[in-house]
Amino acid sequence: MPAQQNTRLNGHRVVLDSQGKLLSWVEPQERAYDHIVRLGWDFILNKVPVEPDGLKSYLTYATFDPATLHGTDWPHDPAGLYAMFACARALAGHVRPGDLTHSPWPFRVFAHTNLAREEYPAQMIAAIKLFDELGRLGLDGAGDYSRTRKIAWNWLMQYPMRNNIWSAYFEDIPFDTDLLNWNQYSPLETARYLLQHPEADPDWRRHSEGLIAWVERTFAVDVPATEHYRWVQQEPVQYGQRWGANAISEQTQQDMDKMGSHTGRYASVCALFYEKTGDQAYKEKSFRSFNWATYMAHEDGLITEAMAEDNFWYSDGYGDYVRQFLAGMGSMPEWAPPKENHLLYSSSIVTKVSYGANELRYSTFDGDATETLRLASAPARVTAGGIALTKRPDLSQPGWTLDPSTGVVRIRHHGAKDVVVSGS
């Protein structure tokens, strides 16, 4: 569907390329994703007000009023907004094998009685990642954590990976006793895990591609416009596929509005699929959907989750939305700004980073790690733990590689946490 010259998307003039496919509203395109990340973080750092309780608004509220920027009355989920944290001992102590209608852990529980209100969430991958990391660190809880991880993994592969009942993730919704309110979050994050950990599943490529395809069939679909959407867009339909971009909805029964963070999540997983497989179709899907997601952001730092001027969430609009662009540039470093220095990805947690006039320094939690950077110029020297690393054609051994056409540098270091990249 070609765009008319005055066609707008969430208030921005739609920009198309010569093939009629969607570009970002940010110009130039090569700096679009970086610009969106900066808009979001500048808002969080410098514009969020302090509430009467003395705390920044995002520490007390899930949503805010765009006119006053102060919080609004909606159920808050601090665990999800702050860190998506989990307690390993509690999880290990309450795990169960699960079946078709019961997950290894229930979804919602009466805190004062420990009685389950809903028995089924398909979102197992977060707990699996937690137990993976505890095992990697040698913290296995006398074997309880590896046993618990195995139970969760076996259930995941036996049930939702086969029947696609990806139900129960979002908590600010009514009960879903029929398990029909499917969401895109759990399958896409499961696909991300399979792509990042192919050793966990011999059939990782088919499974991850199948999850992406299921999300496309289920959530990249046209849906009727809500009253507010019609007021903003003046269109009767929210398009799931338009100008070459897939726009993703949140959940099947509660909210099928097209949303920025969920479209960004889909785009970042497609970018990762391209990174791991080289399939060009997924690079194109990622590019167009990231471009669609940029239209949810505005120059004043306000980021709408859906196409509505009264729908502003700290989680969806900032924490979740921004990190999808960061993940996408980690997979596709040429989408980061050229002629600038950026550390885009590390296989370990980056504990500190500093950008100097002629060098970039960073430290990682693990001594054994790999990083992806895009640099303004070729490095003259790369050291890890003070020892010079060798420039190599690949990273089969510790060292560094350079793609001179893009300025992309990849580094592998072993037994050293402190890395310095020096210019000429």
pLDDT by residue (tens digit) across 241-298? Answer: 999 999 999 999 988 999 999 999 999 999 999 999 999 999 999 999 999 999 999 9
Q: What are the residues facing 56 on neighbouring strands? A: 50
Q: Which two tokens stand for residue 48?
A: 């969020």
CB 176 within 8 A of CB 166: no
Residue whose entry in the numeric block shows the structure tokens 């913290």: 139
Residues 6+ apart with CB under 8 A from 421: 359, 360, 361, 373, 375, 379, 381, 382, 409, 411
pLDDT of res. 296 = 96
- Cβ-Cβ contacts under 8 Å for 100 (sequence gap 6 or more): 159, 163
The pLDDT tens digits for 190-208 are 999 999 999 999 999 999 9
pLDDT at 4: 58
**What pLDDT is stored for residue 245 in this prediction?**
98
Domains of the chain, with CATH numbers? 8-77+172-335 (no CATH), 342-422 (2.60.40.1180)
Taking CA atoms, 274 is separated from 135, 196, 280, 374, in Å, by 29, 12, 6, 18
Tens-digit pLDDT profile for residues 38-79:
999 999 999 999 999 999 999 889 999 999 999 998 877 776
- The encoded tokens of residue 406 equal 């893009």
Rounded mean pLDDT of 12-36? 97
pLDDT of residue 84: 44
Of 319, 418, 311, 284, the C-alpha closest to 359 is: 418
Query: 2 pLDDT exceeds 60?
Result: no
Per-residue pLDDT tens digits for 80-90: 666 544 778 88
The pair of three-digit structure tokens given for residue 131, joined into one six-digit string: 């137990």
Give me the residues paired with residue 16 across strands. Answer: 22
For residue 72, the model assigns a pLDDT of 92
Q: How far is CA 270 from CA 215, 329, 339, 343, in A?
A: 11, 12, 26, 21
Phi, psi of 20 (to 5 degrees): 75, 20
Q: Residue 403 pLDDT > 50, yes or no? A: yes
191 burial (CB, 10 Å; 0-12 / 13-18 / 19+) is buried
**pTM, two decimal places:** 0.95
CA distance 212 to 190: 10
The pLDDT score that the predictor gives to residue 82 is: 62
Q: How confident is the prediction for the chain on average, in pLDDT?
A: 93
Residues in the chain: 424
